[in-house]
Amino acid sequence: MTPLEIIASALGITSVWLTVQQNKLCWPIGLVMVLLYAWFFFDAKLYSLVLLHGVFAAMQLYGWWQWNQGVDDSGQRPVSSATRLEVSVGLSAAACVGLALGLTMSSLTEAAYPWMDAQLTAFSLLAQLWMALKRWQCWLLWVVVDVLYVGFFAFQSYWLTAGLYGVFIALALLGLREWRASRVQAA
């Protein structure tokens, strides 16, 4: 457990908690967190996760911008549902991206666990995109991805990060409840 991992974990919990609450400060705090984790994962030679956190940095800026677009009378962008087509295309695209990234990482790098790292990266990107668009289904996908990440990090003895993802599971379940209720009230 390093100071970098401790700080990044604390910022991660704060960022996700603010996201559940639909507070726009989740985005700048999340930006700092993902940059710190990119550094952490680079040291761990988990290169797909480094790439993921680089893209997450851009997604933090995109999410911040998105949450300021199409705001309602309360000053917030309302929560919405992804269509069946959006879900199908998104999940299929994530699977394909994960396979391509896994092949690239296994062929061109000394990545520690290229295939699992790549698949989790691809599905995390989809969940993050849906979060930026305020689709309540992002939380369902985060629950699945975070459960897998807990096992992935525990297997590597990254106990604090595994614990962080355990907290993320609880927050994702809370986010699912809160965002679905918000969507129902807005309808």
| pTM for the structure as a whole | 0.86
- Cα separation, 169 vs 12, in Å, equals 12
* Cβ burial 147-184 (10 Å sphere, 16+ → b, else e): ebbbebbeeeebeebbebbbbbbebbbebbebbbebbe
Residue 62, pLDDT > 70, answer yes
Instruction: Tell me the two tokens of residue 63.
Output: 């999410």
Q: Kindly list the domain boundaries of the chain, sorted by start residue.
A: 3-186
Residue 73, pLDDT > 70, answer yes
* Residue range 92-143, pLDDT digits in tens: 999 999 999 999 989 998 888 889 989 998 999 999 999 999 999 999 999 9
- Cα separation, 38 vs 165, in Å, equals 16
Decide if 126 contacts 91 (C-beta within 8 A). Answer: yes
Instruction: Tell me the two tokens of residue 31.
Output: 């930006």
One-letter amino acid for residue 57 of the chain: A
Structure-model confidence comparison of residues 68 and 187, the more confident one: 68
Backbone torsion region of residue 125, taken as left when φ is above 0, otherwise alpha when ψ lies between -120 and 50, otherwise beta: alpha
Query: What is the model's pLDDT at position 176?
Result: 96
